[in-house]
């Protein structure tokens, strides 16, 4: 049983402590990387990661399984990091006004792109979405995904390729390119 299926089953059985343990064990590094890309500070990233997990804990019963747990948590982490930037921009401006301003503007511009990407990912068929999320968001190698899913590397590469093409088409339609 894949992690996603295991988490969904545990949520249905309301085993939130077990879900939370699995989530922390499997997704802490990936979420840390997402937050750090926005904040560029290890201390701030640790604080925001902790806040992200608190939000995840408080909202686990609301998770419906429409998207993967990682996609759901990714959105929470990104929003927490962007919220931190908004709330603390006066503080960080004292530290390094030009550098933080650039990060803040970059993060705000990326927010639309990331939301569009997440929307596109959610339109994918289950298998393609799973492969794309593990390869793109979790940065797993095809061999790791093959072991987890019981699928050949060749089939995974094909699924990933099709997922990328569908995401590109979705984004082009949304932006009228």
Predicted pLDDT of residue 8:
63
Q: What pLDDT score was predicted for residue 155?
A: 92
Q: In the prediction, which pLDDT does 95 show?
A: 42
Q: By C-alpha distance, which of 77, 76, 162, 80 is closest to 121?
A: 162
Residue 15 has φ and ψ, to the nearest 5°, of -95, 65
Residue 33, token pair as written in the block: 């990387």
Q: Would you say the C-alpha torsion 164, 170, 173, 177 has a positive or negative sign?
A: negative
Largest CA distance in the chain: 52
The per-residue pLDDT for 41 is 82
- Taking only the tens place, the pLDDT of each residue in 18-50 is 777 878 888 888 888 888 888 878 888 999 999
pLDDT for position 175: 67
Per-residue confidence (pLDDT) for residue 11, from 0 to 100: 61
Answer for the pair 91, 55: CB distance below 8 angstroms, yes or no: no
- Tokens representing 44 are 């701030």
Total length of the chain: 177
Q: What local confidence, expressed as pLDDT, does residue 3 receive?
A: 61
Whether this prediction's pTM lies above 0.85 is answered by no
What pLDDT score was predicted for residue 174?
79
Rounded CA gap, 90 and 88, in Å?
Answer: 5
The reported pLDDT for the residue numbered 153 is 92
The confidence score (pLDDT) of residue 51 equals 93
Top-tier CATH class for 1-96? mainly alpha
Below-50 pLDDT ranges, the chain: 90-105, 107-108, 177
Could you identify the residue written with the tokens 């960080």? 92
What per-residue confidence (pLDDT) applies to 177? Answer: 47
């Amino acid at each position: 049983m894949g992690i996603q299926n295991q988490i969904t089953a545990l949520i249905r059985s309301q085993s939130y402590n077990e879900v939370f343990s699995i989530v922390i064990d499997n997704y802490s590094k990936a979420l840390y990387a997402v937050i750090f890309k926005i904040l560029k500070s290890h201390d701030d990233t640790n604080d925001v990661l902790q806040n992200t997990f608190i939000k995840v804990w408080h909202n686990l019963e609301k998770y419906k399984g429409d998207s993967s747990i990682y996609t759901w948590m990714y959105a929470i982490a990104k929003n927490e990091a962007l919220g931190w930037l908004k709330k603390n921009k006066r503080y960080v401006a004292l530290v390094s006004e030009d550098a933080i301003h650039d990060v803040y503007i970059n993060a705000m511009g990326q927010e639309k792109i990331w939301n569009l990407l997440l929307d596109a990912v959610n339109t994918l068929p289950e298998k393609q979405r799973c492969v794309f999320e593990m390869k793109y968001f979790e940065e797993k190698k095809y061999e790791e995904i093959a072991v987890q899913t019981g699928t050949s590397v060749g089939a995974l590469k094909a699924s990933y390729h099709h997922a990328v093409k569908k995401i590109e088409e979705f984004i082009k339609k949304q932006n009228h390119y």
